Amino acid sequence: MVYRYRWLYLIWLAYSYFTLLDYRRTMRIVAISDTHTHHREIQEMPAGDVLVHAGDFTSTGLEQEVKSFNDWLGELDYKHKLVIAGNHELAFEQLPMFDKVQLLSNARYLEGEAITIDGINFWGGPWTPEFCNWAFMAFRGNLYRYWRRIPDNTNVLITHGPPMDILDFAHYSKEHVGCEELLDRVQELEELRLHIFGHIHGNYGIEHYEYEESSMDYVNASTCTEMYRPSNLPTVIDI
């Protein structure tokens, strides 16, 4: 009888151990975007496993702006740091990929690339619909050539701009300015759980969607307001 209970106890102990292990596998992502050289003015950077910056870390992409941002990244205590560019990285866009990676040595720079971290598949890309001839832009109707690169097994998508009709309302023009082709690709990604972007400062926030067998969070992580004040807090997401 004693042995029977001992086996039950061992089974319970094993179950508790693997349940705790599974709980600890939760990944905490801290998302920011559109800091526009104001990175050191962010009031508080919450603890997390992965820092994501969804572009526009400079004003015009000058080398000294990028170096200042990279120095700040080096002071942050995150195991992983993922960065994409945005439309304001004008001078940065013109650099060879090797130079971009070297300038952002304290993070993993993604430009149409995927990376897997602790079993979670990330993909990042900077492109947005054409607007005033900024960086990393293409005319509407020509952007799917970038979005089709996104792997089907992507869990976390990082783009600079939003998909159409999701946290994309531009108050200055009073219209939705997201990317239709990005929305088309997002809707094809059955394993996608989180989409992080910025670009539209006035639509900072989160939208959560529940589906039959899954859920999905869209995060506009813009740090700066429409007046370019860095008053929006970093967004924390557990996946």
* pLDDT tens track for 139-157: 999 999 999 999 999 999 9
Q: How far is CA 31 from the centre of its chain?
A: 6
Whether the predicted pLDDT of 128 surpasses 60: yes
Sketch the domain layout of the chain as residue ranges: 27-238
Can you tell me the distance from the alpha carbon of 210 to that of 72, in angstroms, rounded to the nearest whole number? 37
What are the pLDDT digits (tens) for 207-224? 999 887 788 999 999 999
Domain 27-238 bears CATH identifier 3.30.429.10: no
186 pLDDT tier (thresholds 50, 70, 90): very high
Can you give the pLDDT at residue 11? 55
For residues 25-40, average pLDDT: 95
Structure tokens belonging to residue 132: 């005033």
Can you tell me the distance from the alpha carbon of 107 to that of 73, in angstroms, rounded to the nearest whole number? 7
For residues 191-220, average pLDDT: 94
Nearest to 114 by CA among 192, 229, 180: 192
Query: Residue 44 carries which DSSP code?
Result: -
